[in-house]
Amino acid sequence: MKLVRLIEGSRQRPKLLVRVGLGVLALLVVIDAVPMLVDKEHAHTAAERWPGFWAVFGFVSCALIVFLSKAFGHAGIMKREEYYDE
Amino acid sequence: MSSLWLHPAFLLLLGAALLPLVPERLRKGWLLWVPLLVFGRTCLLSPMVFGEVQFLDWTLTFGRVDKLSLVFGYILSLMAVLGTLYGLHVRRVGEHVAAWTYAGASLGAIYAGDFLTLFLFWELMALSSVFLIWYRGRPGSLGAGYRYLLVHLAGGVALLAGILLHYQATHSLAFDTLDVANPTLATYLVMAGFLLNAAVPPLHAWLPDAYGEATFSGSVFLCAFTTKTAVYALCRGLPGLDLLVPLGVIMALYGVVYAVLENDCRRLLAYHIISQVGYMVAAVGLGDPGTPLGELAINGACAHAFAHILYKGLLFMGCGTVLHQTGESRFTHLGGLYARMPWTFVFTLIGGLSISAFPLFSGFVSKSMIVAAGFESHQLWVGFGLMLASSGTFLHTGLKVPYFIWFGERHASPAVWERARDPGWNMTAAMVITSALCVFIGCYTPYLYERLPFPVDYHPYTSYHLSETMQVLLFTALGFFLFRRYLVPEPTISLDLDWFYRRGGRAFLWLAQWPIRRLDEWVGERYRRGGLVPLMGVVGWVAQFDRRVIDGVVDGLAGALGRLAGRVRSTQRGSVQENLTLALVGVVLLILGLVLVF
């Protein structure tokens, strides 16, 4: 099973994975900042012209969704699995 | 009438009706060929009107073919092929019959040219699809099916009421664009019927309830047909209805919030249907007919429905495979399965990347049309709200589902671990074809764009759009890996608005058991004391009267008569001559008396 070996091979090098991942993230923001590469003429708001605006948007969105949803869930929405069977 | 038999819906319904009669050795061939035939038929359709039937005062139109119905008919019949292939090994004939009847009814609704035909097929969809839930056969399946059916019948009643009011006002049953600028009660009732099937909050709770409970292959059908037929109906009937824009954005975010809390992978996917259909509903709201923005929005709704049917089908196939192989669909009972079912992981990941709108996958070329329409409508909250939901989509479907099933901590019991392996040829083939289509749509845009109802002047692969999408998605991934310990699924269920009718049913039961029964007992006691007890007293008194007075009188009379008879008997000696003589004398005296008197 080549596919399983490929997955296991990458799992055995967590540090490399993290470095590559962070490198890609940094590269994305850098590319976004170069007008030659990313043409922002069609951006809809001024904020979108800031380099890395969507990176911040994505990260903040993720954090908001995780923490607000969990807070909502723990405010009484999440119940035991047998809740409706009692 | 002759052309009616070439209607794709009728072909599939006929195939379903004959399926139980097909001998078992030919069944798999029938299951493969009938949907292919139906798909071939939809491919050959061109804009026209056929299958018009006179019924009472009305002309029913079964085959209205135009660009809008063509794109939906094409993708839904393709999904019928893929769904049937996926469930080909299922031995229960009834389940295939239900799935085909459901898919056929959906095609019937797509090509319906009048409201009455639409309603007929609309109801048939609900009545046939419920069997896909009941066939699961778990203790909870029966109740889930009944809830699904009751909710849909309620929506059907709203739709019918709307149709009747519309007919009364316009004397037309034609299913065309309603006047959304001047909505009437009829418009709102028709809208409510459509929105219920599109699972728009607060009319959405049936969807995760039912799709999480259906059979492993039934959910593949369910996730494609009901909501997308409703999106078609909205595109046809209510384009440009402003109310749909906020509803769509709320929907897109609502599904995301509940997906965080969900522990069952198929229920999580079901919440993401709500989220994704939210994009389409918002697009229909932006789709003012006759404007370039409206055309972009309606194109976006159709394109996203098209892409969504495939990638959501693929995701339900992947998670359905996990359920089918292991018998488990809860994250807290899975984990670490990549070594056991690696290919299922790859296919599910392709579905996850497609729904998340990764470049080169189908969602990228469809979802972005809607977001672009949102921004171009100058309602920035629409664009940003939908981008926020995109982040959530990747967080759950692209990351949470694959991570907590195939990676993460291993929670699988030894039995689950032992059973977990990649599926048989037909399930694999269905996932391979669907994955290939998801990638093909993302890479070769004309395949999708040339089928859309309006000419497309939209280019998804611009540097800005690529940069924007990759940043949002990959920084969401960063968030996932930083916060993943907060995202570890918990063995819970989440209360949704179905609480009101699930617990409401209990409140009714409680009402029946306690106050109503108490009242019944109290009334019974009053009746006993106030009615029965006095009545029994009167009856007792009457009995006494009967025994003492009436019986006494009757007995006394009888005794007196007996004594008199004894005395009379002593005057008789039994001689016939004396008696005759006495009788004769008596008669003579009587006649003499009468003569003297008169």
- Whether residues A70 and B486 touch (CB distance < 8 A) is answered with yes
Whether A79 sits inside 8 A of B492 (CB atoms) is yes
Chain A contacts of B479, Cβ < 8 Å? 58-59, 62-63, 66
Q: Which A residues in the span 44-63 are in contact with B, Cβ-Cβ below 8 Å?
A: 44-45, 48, 52-59, 61-63
Geometric angle at alpha carbon A27, from A21 and A33, rounded to 5°: 145
Q: How far apart are CA B64 and CA B47, in angstroms?
A: 8
The residues near A21 (Cβ < 8 Å, ≥ 6 apart) are B477, B478, B481
Q: Are B273 and B223 in contact (CB under 8 A)?
A: yes
Say how many Å lie between the first and final Cα of chain A, rounded.
46
Minimum distance, in Å, between the CA of residue A67 and any CA atom of chain B: 8
Average pLDDT over every residue of B28-51: 94
**B333 to chain A, minimum CA–CA distance in Å?**
13
Q: Identify the pLDDT of residue A22.
A: 94
Cβ contact B283:B307 at 8 Å? no
- Residue that the structure tokens 């951006």 belong to: A43
As a dihedral over the C-alpha atoms of residue B39, residue B41, residue B46, residue B49, rounded to 10 degrees, the angle is: -120
How far lies B528's CA from each of B79, B369, B515, B539, in Å? 66, 74, 20, 15
Kindly state the average pLDDT of the residues B413-437.
Answer: 93
Residue type present at position B353: L
Contact call for residues B271 and B198 (beta carbons, < 8 A): no
Query: Which structure tokens are listed for B286?
Result: 């932006």
Q: What is the pLDDT of residues B187-238, one digit of tens each?
A: 999 999 999 999 999 999 999 999 999 999 999 999 999 999 999 999 999 9
Please state, in angstroms and rounded to a whole number, the distance separating the CA atoms of residues B122 and B101.
Answer: 12
Tell me if B483 sits within 8 A of A62, measured CB to CB: yes
Q: Which two tokens stand for residue A10?
A: 């990458």
Structure-token match 């209805």, residue found = B241
- The closest of B257, B262, B219, B308 to B404, measured between CA atoms, is B262
For tokens 């002309």, what's the residue? B59
pLDDT at B576 over 80: no
pLDDT of B2 above 70: no
Which residue is it, tokens 């008197």?
Answer: B597
Three-class secondary structure of residue B203 per DSSP = coil
Sequential pLDDT tens for chain A (86 residues): 688 888 888 888 889 989 999 999 999 988 988 888 888 877 788 888 888 899 999 999 999 999 999 999 999 889 888 888 87
B60 forms beta bridges with B53
Token readout for A27 is 């590269």
Phi then psi dihedrals of residue B497, to 5 deg: -70, -10
Calculate the alpha carbon distances from B494 to B26, B314, B429 in Å: 45, 25, 35
Report residue B583 as tokens: 């009788």
Most confident range, picked from B311-320, B376-385, B477-486? B311-320
Bridge partners, B494 (sequence order): A78
Q: What is the pLDDT of residue B1?
A: 47
Residue type, B419: R
Check A65 against B391: CB less than 8 A apart.
Answer: yes
Question: Could you tell me how many residues make up chain B?
Answer: 598
Residue B586 DSSP SS3? helix
> For chain A, how are helix, strand and coil distributed in percent, rounded to 5?
70, 5, 25
For residue range B330-341, what is the model confidence (pLDDT) as tens digits? 999 998 899 899
Give the whole-angstrom CA distance, residue B333 versus residue B284.
Answer: 40
Mean predicted lDDT score pLDDT of chain B: 92
B112, two tokens:
């319906």
Q: Taking CA atoms, what residue in B is nearest to A41?
A: B464
A67 neighbourhood in chain B, CB within 8 Å: 483, 486
Query: Which alpha helices (H) appear in B356-443, and where do they start and end?
Result: 362-376, 380-393, 401-406, 414-419, 425-443
**Strand B58-65 and strand B492-494: pairing?**
unpaired
If you average pLDDT over residues B540-565, what whole number do you get?
88
Please tell me which of the candidates A4, A24, A68 has its beta carbon nearest to residue B342: A4
Beta carbons within 10 angstroms of residue B464's beta carbon = 17
Nearest CA in chain B to A23: B474
- In this predicted structure, what is the pLDDT of residue B572? 66
Judge whether A14 is closer than 8 Å to chain B, CB to CB: no
Provide the pLDDT for residue B284.
Answer: 96
Q: Which two tokens stand for residue B370?
A: 């809607």
Measure CB to CB from residue B479 to each of A43, A63, A80 and give the nearest one.
Answer: A63
What is the per-residue pLDDT for B574?
Answer: 66
Residue B78: helix, strand or coil by DSSP?
helix
Q: Return the closest-CA partner of residue B345 out of B275, B435, B256.
A: B435
Over residues B2-12, mean pLDDT: 84
**Who has greater pLDDT, B370 or B499?**
B370
Q: How far is CA B43 from CA B8, B80, B560, in A?
A: 10, 14, 109
Which chain B residue has its CA at the smallest distance from A62's CA?
A: B476
Task: Give the model confidence (pLDDT) of B55-72 as tens digits.
Answer: 888 889 999 999 999 999
- pLDDT score of B200: 94
Decide: helix, strand or coil at residue B492: strand
Residue B193, burial from CB neighbour count under 10 angstroms (0-12, 13-18, 19+): buried
The CA distance from A38 to A49, in Å, is 10
Least Cα separation, residue B479 to chain A (angstroms): 6
Could you say which DSSP state residue B337 is in? G
Alpha-carbon distances, residue B195 vs B8, B69, B159, B176 (angstroms): 26, 19, 10, 17
Q: What is the pLDDT of residues B256-294, one digit of tens each?
A: 999 999 999 999 999 999 999 999 999 999 999 989 999
Q: How confident is the model at residue B573 (pLDDT cuts 50, 70, 90)?
A: low
Shortest Cα distance from A16 to chain B (angstroms)? 15
